[in-house]
Amino acid sequence: MTDTPPRRRLSPAVYRRRRLAVLLVVLLIVAAIVLALWRPWEGAAAQGGPTPALTETTDAASAPASPSATPSAEAAEPAASDSPPAEEDAEVEPCSAQSVQVSAVTDKDAYGAGELPQLSISLTNAGDAPCLLNVGTATQKLTVSSGPDVWWRSTDCQSESSDQVVQIDPGQTVSSVTPITWDRTRSSVDSCGSDRPAAPAGYFNLAVEIGGLAAQQDRQFVLR
């Protein structure tokens, strides 16, 4: 029977290293468990709230002021004191030939025997601003001619005249309320109230003027 050789004893330094290694493993396991159970950033995200600074700024801008709060100096000042004058309070300029189009109007293109032409004026503001114009009978002038021969003027036997200033807005069209009837005779300042020569059949032109503005084109019509 052989004798078993005696076991070699380890040094104390080796035992200490083994204990430290085991302790380190245990500490790592414990730390992993703690981190798995306690995740503070997830708790903050679960609450869903923004950062305090952002929340205060947003709330201050959107929340209504408390009745007991002291108003700021800007809020205490009347808004009208700093606002520009209203557009309608601005002075409206007189109408000009560049902004207002004047047109001569007849109710028909051709008139049979015994039919009396109804003559009127139409105004259209083609500009981008309102303007004022005197459209009264004192500023109206309608003229009927055949070629160079003038047959009738609305001012020849006008007994009364009036002024009427109106505002014409951009894009607005203003027409005569009551057309003037031409009796198909030749007029003159000396023949008012007396018999006058009748106009023959043929082509005639109507020219109009109102408020110092004249139509750029005459209106042609036919008498039969």
pLDDT tens figures, 148-181: 999 999 999 998 889 999 999 999 999 988 999 9
Q: In angstroms, how far is the first alpha carbon of the chain from the final one? A: 162
At residue 65, does pLDDT exceed 60?
A: no
Q: How confident is the model at residue 68 (pLDDT cuts 50, 70, 90)?
A: very low
Give domain status of residue 87, yes or no: no
Give domain status of residue 141, yes or no: yes
Burial of 3 from C-beta contacts in 10 A (0-12 / 13-18 / 19+): exposed
Instruction: Specify the pLDDT at position 161.
Output: 87
Judgement on whether residues 47 and 110 belong to the same structural domain of the protein: no
Domain limits at 29?
Answer: 11-59
Backbone angles phi, psi at 3, to 5 degrees: -85, 135
CATH code where residue 145 lies: 2.60.40.2360
**How far apart are alpha carbons 172 and 131 in whole angstroms?**
11
Cα R_g (the chain), whole angstroms? 50
**How far apart are alpha carbons 215 and 101 in whole angstroms?**
7
Give domain status of residue 73, yes or no: no
pTM as predicted: 0.60
At residue 129, does pLDDT exceed 50?
A: yes
Task: Residue 176: name the closest of 101, 121, 115, 114 by CA.
Answer: 121
Task: Residue 178: name the closest of 207, 150, 153, 154 by CA.
Answer: 154
Q: How confident is the model at residue 9 (pLDDT cuts 50, 70, 90)?
A: low
| DSSP of 5-16 | PPPPPPPHHHHH
**How far apart are alpha carbons 34 and 172 in whole angstroms?**
82
Judgement on whether residues 22 and 98 belong to the same structural domain of the protein: no
Q: How confident is the model at residue 118 (pLDDT cuts 50, 70, 90)?
A: very high
Give domain status of residue 161, yes or no: yes
Q: What's the number of domains the chain is made of?
A: 2
At residue 139, does pLDDT exceed 90?
A: yes
At residue 38, does pLDDT exceed 50?
A: no
